Amino acid sequence: MITTINKYLSLVKFSHTIFAMPFALTGYFMATTRGGGSFSWTTFGLVVLCMVFARSAAMAFNRWLDVDIDKLNPRTAKREIPAGVISPQNAMFFILVNVMLFILTTWFINRICFFLSPIALMVVLGYSYMKRFTAMCHMVLGVGLSLAPIGAYLAVTGEFALLPVLVSVLVLCWVSGFDIIYSLQDEDFDKSQQLNSIPAWLGLSGALRFSELLHVIAAALVITIGMYGHYHWLFWIGAAVFIAMLISQHLLVKPNDLSKVNVMFMTTNGIASVVFAVFVIADMLLF
């Protein structure tokens, strides 16, 4: 049983939840402290479950859809489905279960979340097709993860607001930027298979410049959020760490040296999301 669970946790790269979950929690506490909503452990738990179910469905679908591509790529050939650890049929069953659980969970939150749940699923599942059509696939991934803060805010208030939308745009730029850096590893493979990506389109140097632009916008949004939200010193500590992690990615990864890509992907972005969320939430709760 434990072995089976570990297989599916590996399939969906559960550890990567660290990227979006902190921003979902930021959106939740933004709603309870700034949006007029009240804290509820039930709603809090439902928001966390929505994140887990939606992300698990999206990641598993990506692995299921790309199995033939992953078999050909030395970097991905050992993933669970192409390696035969999990069958395509079992993976699809897992996807369907998570999709249904996600929709069911939104039903228990509020009507707007329930009615918007199919759109959210279209975005997070649709990302997997994008590399077949557009080099902007990284931006679609960013949109998918950017739903976390605004979705959590909606779960509490049932209404849209500018502040969580700004946080969502921040997540979009941040995620799209680091996904471009991560995809540098597959530039040659993407070209050989006629797959679309920013590195395959612009080359390594051009892709890094594109990523830098997105991260400059992300840094500007962090500052804008702090000023618009009238946050205090705890926010600015988190903001400084977040921006420092953005800068470090571009100091670590160079067109002629991709050896630090994995360090960048997990370590710097994990620190960025967790530290930023902790300090922002603390600022909202304490001031």
User: What was the pLDDT predicted at 212?
Assistant: 97
Give percent of the chain with pLDDT exceeding 90.
88
pLDDT of residue 4: 83
The DSSP output letter for 35 is: S
Could you give the C-alpha distances from 249 to 114, 135, 214, 268, in angstroms and in order?
Answer: 37, 21, 13, 7
pLDDT of residue 249: 92
The 10s digit of each residue's pLDDT in 106-140 is 999 999 999 999 999 999 999 999 999 999 999 99
Threshold 0.85, pTM exceeds = yes
Domain range for 32: 2-286
Tokens 């395509």 belong to which residue? 88
- Give the per-residue pLDDT at 266: 80
In this prediction, residue 265 carries a pLDDT of: 81
- Please tell me the number of Cα atoms within 13 Å of 9 on its side-chain side: 8
Neighbours of 247 (CB within 10 A): 13
Above 80 in pLDDT, residue 2?
no
- Mean per-residue pLDDT, 273-279: 96
Alpha carbon of 160 to those of 15, 27, 107, 221: distances in Å?
Answer: 29, 11, 18, 18
For residue 67, name the pLDDT band (cuts at 50, 70, 90). Answer: very high
- pLDDT-based confidence at 14, cuts 50/70/90? confident
User: What tens digit of pLDDT does each residue of 38-56 get?
Assistant: 999 999 999 999 999 999 9
Q: What is the pLDDT of residue 10?
A: 87
Q: Do 151 and 24 contact (CB within 8 A), yes or no?
A: yes
Average model confidence (pLDDT) across the chain: 94
Please write the tens of the pLDDT for every residue from 144-191. Answer: 999 999 999 999 999 999 999 999 999 999 999 999 999 999 999 999
The residue count for the chain = 287
- The total number of structural domains that make up the chain: 1
- The CATH number linked to 143 is 1.10.357.140
Residues 228-245: what's their mean pLDDT?
A: 97
